[in-house]
Structure 1
Amino acid sequence: MLRLKTRPQFQAVLAGAIVAKTTHFALHRNALDVKAAQEESDKRVNTPVLFPVQAMWIGAMVPKRWAKRAATRNAIKRQIYTVSADFSQQYPQAAFVVRLRRGFPRTEFVSASSELLKQAVRAEMQVLMLAGAKAS
């Protein structure tokens, strides 16, 4: 499982379809066509290939709009990557982005990186990844 790193990679995946949704998250998917992408980049000079390897790619988008504190954003991203690693064998070789689309209430989760928040994110991510595996 490889991680998305560049903005064009994220944009390419977000242009694909939404495969699964939960209350707080959406799972975007875009199929990889490595050979066509390499042929396309060979035609253009100095254009890097977005996905050079045929594998499962995963990215996490946790906007400041929905998670104000950096500690909260980092804790959510860690849970996303951990749970997606658990499900990597059930997914096809494609690129995926997990996007936070609604914030967790600060009244319920007072601490920026509380165990309660991590458990809630992990439980919802497992539901999301299971639904995404069935849809893929």
Structure 2
Amino acid sequence: MQRLKTRAQFQAVLAGATVARTAHFALHRCALDLASSAQPLFASDDVWLGAMVPKRWARRAVTRNAIKRQIYTVSAAPDVGLLRAAHVVRLRAGFDRKEFVSASSDKLKAAVRAELQQLLARAARPAPPPRERSERPPSAPSSSSSS
């Protein structure tokens, strides 16, 4: 597993599709396009992963680092089954500071780990087939005659 490092890599992945969401996290995915340019963003055909934990949602550096560590640890597990693509796990909401008083408690780490496992399990499931739209007969034009 490779880690995303450059701003261009993160921007390319965030421009891709959001493949899974939980209450606090979102997983973005971008297919690797190795032959598209002279200098590709992703040098090898591997799983690429980046973690985005904004200060807006995790004020303390200790908390941000703990969340990032959990993201990389959970994602590196052999049973995760991430596709060969570039992924970004993004924190999209803050954890309640009343419930998680300490900046880096075992309780917070366990909650983050459980939610990340749920996020990655959702991403590993195959996408449901698209729903077929029922054909509605065109509505009759309203007859409003003005004299």
Fold match (TM-score > 0.5):
yes
Q: Which residue of 1 aligns with 2:16?
A: 16
Aligned residue-pair number? 127
Mark the CA change 1:127 to 1:87 in structure 2 (over 3 Å): closer, same or farther: farther
Q: Which residue of 1 aligns with 2:95?
A: 104
Report sequence identity in percent: 65
Deviation at 1:90, TM superposition (A): 1.2
Deviation at 1:64, TM superposition (A): 0.1
Three-state SS of the structure 1 residue aligned to 2:76 is helix
8 A Cα contact 1:20 1:135, kept in partner: no
Kindly report which structure 2 residues correspond to 1:1-136, keeping only aligned pairs within 5 A, or say none.
1-36=1-36, 40-41=37-38, 48-86=39-77, 90-135=81-126
Name the one with the larger helix percent: 1
Q: Which structure has the larger Rg? A: 2
8 A Cα contact 2:80 2:121, kept in partner: no
Deviation at 1:33, TM superposition (A): 1.4
Structure scoring higher RCO (CA < 8 A, sep ≥ 6) equals: 1
Q: Which runs of 5+ in 1 are unaligned?
A: 42-47
Instruction: Point out 4+ residue stretches in structure 1 off by more than 2 angstroms.
Output: none
Q: Which runs of 5+ in 2 are unaligned?
A: 128-147
1:59 counterpart letter in structure 2? G
Residue deviations 1:13-32 (CA, integer Å, cap 9, x gap): 00000000000000000000
